[in-house]
Structure 1
Amino acid sequence: MKNTIRNTKKGILMVALLATVTGFANNAKRDAKKTAVVIENVKEGNLLTLKDVYGITLYKEAIATNGIYKKGFDLSELPNGDYLFELEKDLEIKTIPFTVSSNKVSFNKTDESTYFKPYVREANGLVYVSKLNPSSADTTIKVYAIDIYGESRLSFTEVVENSQIVEKVFKLEKGNYKIEIHSDNKEYTTFINN
């Protein structure tokens, strides 16, 4: 009788151990499909976005801590095609493109790029616009005056060509303004109320 109880306990223990090992193996298989995304020098509040080739946002996350961002993504489940991670910081946007083909994910470091956002600030009736532009791409600046009905009227426009640094200062009268800056196939809009 004692041997039967002892053997039954051993059998139950072996079944429990086998179930645990099988569970770990299944998790390992799922985790093996995940792609580790590691990005250095992030700050709390930076925005990480996963987009498809058409610019449709598939995933968005605000970074919670400063330092190094690490996360596993199962990118192999995406349909075949081109995608990108976009990390939006205070004054720059870094793009990390990748391709999914037959459930295989490939990143190409040489295709990574960084775009610099314009910096617009208002002080003492002057509006300062500056933008780092290493590619010397044409940069269009448009200033719209907004009336009390919300209608906007173009007050100023300028195209800055072949310049790696864009710096402009505007003296604006009291009122509401919209400033649009077009550069690197992106548009940035800022509203000024002075």
Structure 2
Amino acid sequence: MKNVMNNLKKVFLMVAIMSTVMGYANEKSFTITENDAKKTVLTLADVKVGNLFKIKDENGMVLYKETIQRKGTYSKGFDLTSLPDGSYFFELEKDMEISTIPFEVKANEVSFNKELAKTFFKPSTHTRGNMVFINQLSLNEMPLEIEVYYDGGVFTESYQLIHNETIANTKNIERVYELGDFEEGKYKIVFKSEGREFVKFI
């Protein structure tokens, strides 16, 4: 028990904040057309095997889900006119980013506002020795909450919260944590941003 508490006390946080504005080319990665059958044809560029495509309603309920099976360009027609009136969005989840394209259905008519399409970049984590490096690109400078947990073993409750912070108002988020007496598999980091949650075990 004493060793566990010593490990918790040895967790030392080093903060590196970098507020440099990064240029980002918002290349057009999708097109939306209508075919002869009056279906909405969505074409997505630069997809990879294993990417996850979904159609969701405004409450986040998944109405359609498909795992991309081929690298390159994804194109498919959808009959969206039969959906109840409301707000919906296409979502494409890649390894390090999630893109959303919203649309509205009203009286069997479908409308898109392509200007509202956006990309959410996932936090990235890598380790070097007992150092943990965290990065995230947040073009809209949205808050990122970070929670660091330590697995204290059989003598304490599993995964005790040992550090948490929220970073906002910066496009480029960078954090470096030095974990005392680092043991692989003993730490869990939870990221929360824009209603999404990601968990990384290290």
Shorter-chain TM-score range: 0.7 to 0.9
Match of 1:91 in 2: 96
2:200 matches 1:187: no
Q: Which residue of 142, 145, 156 corresponds with 1:140?
A: 145
Query: Per-residue deviation at 1:125?
Result: 2.3
Question: TM-score when scaled to structure 1?
Answer: 0.78
Identity score, percent: 44
1:165 equivalent in structure 2: 172
Amino acid corresponding to residue 198 of structure 2 in structure 1: Y
Tell me which amino acid in the other structure corresponds to 2:77.
G
Helix, strand or coil at the partner of 2:170: coil
Secondary structure of residue in 2 paired with 1:77: coil
Task: Confirm whether residue 156 of structure 1 aligns to residue 163 of structure 2.
Answer: yes
Q: State the Cα distance separating 1:56 from its structure 2 match.
A: 0.5
Distance 2:142 2:171 in 1: 8
Deviation, 1:186, is: 2.0
Choose from 123, 127, 131 the match for 2:132. 127
CA–CA distance in 2 between the matches of 1:71 and 1:132? 30
Q: RMSD of aligned C-alpha atoms?
A: 1.8
Mapped to 2, the partners of 1:103 and 1:161 lie a distance apart of 40
Point out the structure with max Rg over C-alpha. 1
Structure with bigger RCO (C-alpha 8 Å, 6+ apart)? 2
| TM-score relative to the length of structure 2 | 0.75
Q: For residue 190 of structure 1, what is the amino acid of its counterpart?
A: K
- Matched residues, number: 163
Q: How does 1:16-55 map to 2 (within 5 A)?
A: 32-55=37-60
Distance of 1:65 and 1:137 partners within structure 2: 33
The amino acid across from 1:139 in the alignment is L
The amino acid that maps onto 2:128 is: A
Give the stretch that moved more between structures: 47-56 or 164-173: 164-173
Partner-residue secondary structure (3-state), 2:69: coil
User: Could you tell me which of 103, 113, 127 is aligned with 2:108?
Assistant: 103
> The residue matched to 2:81 in structure 1 has which SS?
helix
Letter of the aligned partner of 2:189 in structure 1? I
* Alpha-carbon displacement from aligned partner over 1:86-113 (angstroms, at most 9, x marks no partner): 1111111110111111111111101111
**Stretch moving more, 170-179 or 76-85:** 170-179
Say whether residues 1:63 and 2:68 are aligned partners.
yes
Q: What SS does structure 2 have at the residue aligned with 1:75?
A: coil
Return the match for 2:82 from 64, 68, 77.
Answer: 77
Residue-by-residue CA offset, 1:51-82 (whole Å, 9 max, x unaligned): 01110111111111122110011111111111
